[in-house]
Structure 1
């Protein structure tokens, strides 16, 4: 067993890499364990809200992407949109985001080791990872939606909600709007994110298990803009999206990003919350107040979780779902306030 590190971060996605950058800034000896080769791709809406853009800039990162000026909801003949008030968002390929974060972590002197973490043993002074030959004062679980570390610690909590899934594909067509468009259908939503002069990403969120093409056909206006021959990537999927964690702190293990719990991708805040959680985690370890991380995480994510939960519940109610966008259309100021509160 090697000497003890300050932090071993399990998972090299945005949450884990951001935690590593904050840890390096705080002077910690940190290591990232990530068995997949960079860049790591995954099913993702790929739209960064302005808060995430600002957080990345504060870390000294410039990520290549396509400016996003706001959010537009579409449901049949109903449309409502809101512009971001505090700067643009950014449409960014997941691989480009990962490349930028991964490069910054290596430049900061934090090793990214090709290790898969198995057994986790805790004691009063730290955490041992026998299979990886590592010892650390604190272990950070940033290993995603279906976190093996969370599961191994018995921190997974069940949900009675109907499960929802995400599917994503890219099309070589020019963006027709500077907004992220959210098309609302009977059984889910389709997100269109401008990613470049001739590239859009399409993410489908649904409670129905069916191939991407069959799901897209449920949005005929959108499907007409996206001929199958213009698809340029394979379909990637994720889910079930809702994941509940009983706690964000368990002894000397702290959970961050999707591993800390996830409601839904409906409001597109996953990366923003990962960056916020990473900063709060490292701040509390640096101050010697890890017990405060749980309350800080709850406070920082409460608004997002409540609004997302409310929207998902409304969208899954047969009587309420058709009324969401028309109501927002009649109350544009309320819609704009909600968008910018999240942004």
Structure 2
């Protein structure tokens, strides 16, 4: 047995999985062919629960705090503050860098390899690998495998756990702008067929993410939000546009023998509520707990416990705002029932 646990995917959730494993006294290695830190389309807002989980791991990324969520539309606004302390806007690269440092300090080896095959028996898992140049790498024997390899997970497909989505998913685009944040909240702007998320990530930088079923250039999406477009007019982009999607990904199960799925690889509803990292951390913790107890099948219940609230709220909000008339009514309704809006935001912001 090479290691107790092999993690496929060295993004934030994969690295957090490794840290939880070390805490449990497990030997662990990570497979990640790309040199970090790796950037990707992400709203970059850490909810209070996710921030608390990182703090518990001793990971404290630099960023810009925000007090809650503010919905904005032409017909009004609605604001909900977090009751458990602020969230934090953090560049994806900053979060990845701090987690990489923490795993290195914990003695975790990150191998620049891709997984190409996976077979298992009653005692362990054999993972065949490939070097970045395409040559065959070593076969690694592990007691268990956790796949944290993202939305379009190789492991999910290879294990036969992929479940086709029942309808077309949405896509996300994100770009940064060199301007001081103008809001103490993550601002969510609603248009006819898209939402824009403005997250403060530094004293002189904001990230703008757009979600929509329609695929078109970032500038065309931005034009749907005149107040935001006007504010950013003449402001130079501080990063290239990053894209992701389709966001809707489903899995039949999260466990196949000694292999477990966490993070986006385990299934994803939508980025509408911005809780992706927080959910991934909770799933990582639950997966490692099941592995440490040598009861990997228990993770199905742990995954559901960590995920169901957010999935229910996200799915409900997506369905409720699918008709254009409902999208126009959302912000006024939230403003008229601030206690409901606040309860929903704080439910999403809590730790699992």
What's the TM-score once normalised by structure 2's chain length?
0.95
Q: In 2, distance between residues paired with 1:312 and 1:230? A: 32
| Equivalent of 1:298 in 297, 304, 329 | 304
The residue aligned with 1:135 is 141
C-alpha separation in 1, matches of 2:57 and 2:204: 29
- How many angstroms apart in 2 are the aligned matches of 1:327 and 1:215? 25
Q: 1:52 aligns with which of 39, 44, 50?
A: 50
Distance of 1:229 and 1:114 partners within structure 2: 38
Give the Å deviation of 1:14: 1.2
Other structure's SS at 1:313 match: helix
Deviation of the 1:62 alpha carbon:
1.2
Residue number among 211, 215, 239 corresponding to 2:221 in the alignment: 215
Separation in 2 of the partners of 1:284 and 1:133? 24
For residues 153-177 of structure 1, the C-alpha deviation after alignment (integer angstroms, 9 at most, x for no partner) is: 1111112223200000000011110
CA distance in 1, matches of 2:122, 2:237: 53
Cα distance in 2 for partners of 1:22, 1:142 equals 14
TM-superposition CA deviations, 1:190-211 (whole Å, max 9, x none): 0000111110000000110100
Say whether the 8 Å CA contact 2:89–2:201 is kept in structure 1.
yes
Shift of residue 229, structure 1, vs aligned partner: 4.5
Partner of 1:194: 200
The answer on whether the counterparts of 2:177 and 2:206 sit within 8 Å (CA) in structure 1 is: yes
- Partner of 1:190, secondary structure, is strand
**CA apart distance, 1:313:** 1.3
For residue 19 of structure 1, what is the aligned residue in structure 2? Answer: 17
Superposition deviation, residue 227 in structure 1: 2.2
> Is 1:334–2:334 an aligned residue pair?
no
- Picking from 290, 294, 301, the partner of 1:284 is 290
How many aligned residue pairs are there? 341
Q: Give RMSD over aligned pairs.
A: 1.0
1:21: Cα distance to partner? 0.2
Q: Does 1:262 align with 2:261?
A: no
Which residue, out of 67, 70, 73, partners 1:72? 70
Aligned to 1:38: 36
- Distance in 2 (CA, whole Å) between partners of 1:55 and 1:129 is 30
How far, CA to CA, are the matches of 2:145 and 2:203 in structure 1?
41
Runs of at least 5 residues in structure 1 that lack an aligned partner in the other structure: none
Structure 2 partner of 1:237:
243
CA shift, 1:37, in A, is 0.6
1 CA distance for matches of 2:29 and 2:168?
37
Q: Secondary structure at the match of 2:30?
A: strand
Question: Are 1:318 and 2:288 an aligned pair?
Answer: no
* Secondary structure at the counterpart of residue 119 of structure 1: strand
Q: CA deviation at 1:228?
A: 5.5
Q: 1:253 offset after TM fit, Å? A: 0.5
